[in-house]
Amino acid sequence: MQEIEILVQVFESKNKVLKKLKQFDFLGAKKVLDVYYYDPLRAELKPDHANKLRACFRLRQEDKHCYMTFKKDVFGKNDKWSHSEEHEIEISDLRIAENIIEHLGLKTLVEIDNLKHVYQFKNFEVVLEEVKNLGLFLEVEARGIKNTDNVKDVKEKIWQFIKSLEIKTSAKLNAGKPEIMLNKVPGE
């Protein structure tokens, strides 16, 4: 499945942002733990020298549900992230999945522990994320995307939507939360 989204860091208080998002359909808040793995033997599943991931394997625990995901990133001009091809399946037993991963020789790369406040507006999923040891982020993903849709046009619509919220944010981050966490300076 093609995943087209924009991630930005938020520079306002959580409560102020939640008030602005109140105008949209609230789908709920959920506790999410993502564990990303790398393969010591395969360059494709390791961060490069700048901690950039081109593909990643993840286990997600989301409230009482668990998912296994493989994502392959697609890059455009100037090696900028464009979108991801994501393959995800719900699994029934997280412990068995962890045992399989261990037996395959994969190692934990990084854990992302967050609380997600999820909203829906038209074909956008709007998520305010409180990421432990990282900060507050806003992720907006276009839903209902067809493979024939122009990625650049979809991203421009997402960006215009983010700007319309009038929330103080960073520019578009050309990285995911695992890469941001890997590049975090200790003590920040």
**Cα 162 from Cα 79, distance rounded (Å):** 23
pLDDT mean across residues, the chain: 91
Instruction: Answer whether residue 13 shows pLDDT above 90.
Output: yes
Q: What value does the mean pLDDT take over residues 35-60? A: 91
- Asked if residues 119 and 21 have their Cβ atoms less than 8 Å apart, the reply is yes
Instruction: Answer whether residue 133 shows pLDDT above 80.
Output: yes
How many independent structural domains does the chain possess?
1
CATH of residue 174: 2.40.320.10
- Asked if residues 94 and 118 have their Cβ atoms less than 8 Å apart, the reply is no
111 vs 78, higher pLDDT = 111
Q: What value does the mean pLDDT take over residues 47-60? A: 90
Instruction: Answer whether residue 147 shows pLDDT above 90.
Output: no
User: What is the value of pTM for the model shown?
Assistant: 0.87
Asked whether residue 150 is domain-assigned, the answer is yes
Asked whether residue 16 is domain-assigned, the answer is yes
Rounded to the nearest 5 degrees, what angle is found at the Cα of 128, between the Cα atoms of 123 and 130?
Answer: 155
The range of the structural domain enclosing residue 155 comes to 2-182
Give pLDDT, residue 15. Answer: 96
Give pLDDT, residue 76. Answer: 80
Of the pLDDT bands very low, low, confident and very high (cuts 50, 70, 90), residue 94 is very high
Give pLDDT, residue 98. Answer: 95
Asked whether residue 129 is domain-assigned, the answer is yes
Asked whether residue 187 is domain-assigned, the answer is no
Asked whether residue 188 is domain-assigned, the answer is no
Asked whether residue 66 is domain-assigned, the answer is yes
**Cα 105 from Cα 38, distance rounded (Å):** 9
